[in-house]
Amino acid sequence: MVLDEWWGGYPGSSTAASPMSIAPRFTPGSGRCSPAPERTWDGSRALEKTTGAGLRRAAVQRALALVARDPAAVESAVEQYQRYLHKHAVDPNLLDIVVAAAARVADEKRFEEIKARAASEIDPAAKRRFLHALAAVENPRLIGRAVELALDDFVQMQDFSSYVGTLLANRATREAAWSLVQTRWDAVRKKGDSPMILRRLIEALGALPDRSHLAQVEKFLAEHELTPARQAVAQTLERLRMDVALRERLMPQIADWLRKGPR
């Protein structure tokens, strides 16, 4: 949900964006507002070290480019992605954002480009960044390739559960990924052949958002022997039931508010 992404901060940080972080700022005597510096893609390193502006900037750009999908923010993120590929300096706090934004709008050429970087990167964080970007694609022509890659040797065992989790969290690849888990469970189970990976695979099912998904997950988990992940099964079902109930309660209210617009 949008609120979860907004207030959850950025992975690896405890800093969340506040509404004031993206509010325009009035310049005294100018008669006009200027964008908050957190809405830009660069900034003073000295300022970032003393005020945490870098983390706030990352949270705001994440909200604009990945949550709100603001066209201008997405375009700017893709430009930063190109800078990153060409060895130009990009704020490390923004790298996950720019690569994910570029992957979402990727064509086949960029998909192969990202895949090549996932294969060649030596730095584990960069390798993981590009690998997960492959699971973030939204181009219909790439969805099948991204999903099938999960069972390919290209995705190593230690990355398997997080890659599948990214597919399930991506609304474009979600149904195809869920179908893969159900119809090819033997292959999925074989690749995730460790109690820890199995638990993480089960927990990834918590990204499925609808009541129809809840019923499918309940049936699926009941039909398979998952003793090593018994606690994960119970926790995932509890989370799903709570999330589905919350979604059903809030969605009509949010839709009504959006229809009426600000007052």
Q: CATH number of the domain that 231 lies in?
A: 1.25.50.20
CA-CA distance, 257 to 263, in Å (whole number)? 10
Same domain, 189 and 246: yes
Same domain, 160 and 69: no
pTM of the entire predicted model: 0.82
Other Cβ atoms closer than 10 A to 6: 17
Same domain, 219 and 95: no
Q: Is residue 111 part of a domain?
A: no
Identify which has the larger pLDDT, 122 or 11.
122
Give the burial class of 123: count Cβ atoms within 10 A of its Cβ; 0-12 exposed, 13-18 middle, 19 or more buried: exposed
Same domain, 100 and 151: no
Same domain, 120 and 85: no
Average pLDDT over residues 139-150: 98
Q: Which residue has the tokens 């009504």?
A: 256
* pLDDT at residue 109 tops 80: yes
Same domain, 96 and 169: no
Percent of the chain beyond pLDDT 70?
Answer: 80
Q: Is residue 254 part of a domain?
A: yes
Q: Is residue 65 part of a domain?
A: yes
Q: Tell me how far CA of residue 244 lies from CA of 164, 210, 218, 221, 250, in angstroms.
A: 21, 6, 13, 17, 10
Instruction: Report helix, strand or coil for 203.
Output: helix
Q: Is residue 232 part of a domain?
A: yes
Other Cβ atoms closer than 10 A to 108: 12
Same domain, 94 and 182: no
* pLDDT at residue 148 tops 80: yes
Identify which has the larger pLDDT, 182 or 26.
182
Same domain, 142 and 248: yes
Tens-place pLDDT, residues 217-229: 999 999 998 999 9
Domain stops at, among 43, 72, 105: 105
Q: b or e along 137-175 (b: 16 or more beta carbons within 10 Å of the residue's beta carbon)?
A: bebeebbebbbebbbeeebeeebbbbbbbbbbbbebbbe
The encoded tokens of residue 195 equal 């109690």
**Least confidently predicted of 26-40, 110-124, 208-222, 245-259:** 26-40
Same domain, 130 and 57: no
What pLDDT is recorded for position 102? 97
Q: How confident is the model at residue 41 (pLDDT cuts 50, 70, 90)?
A: low
Same domain, 138 and 263: yes
Q: Is residue 110 part of a domain?
A: no
Q: Is residue 45 part of a domain?
A: yes
Identify which has the larger pLDDT, 259 or 49.
259
What pLDDT is recorded for position 33? 39
Domain coverage including residue 67:
1-25+35-105
Is the separation of the CB atoms in 133 and 121 below 8 Å?
A: no
Q: Is residue 174 part of a domain?
A: yes
**Least confidently predicted of 23-32, 116-125, 207-216:** 23-32
Same domain, 10 and 68: yes
Q: How many domains does the chain have?
A: 2
* pLDDT at residue 22 tops 50: no
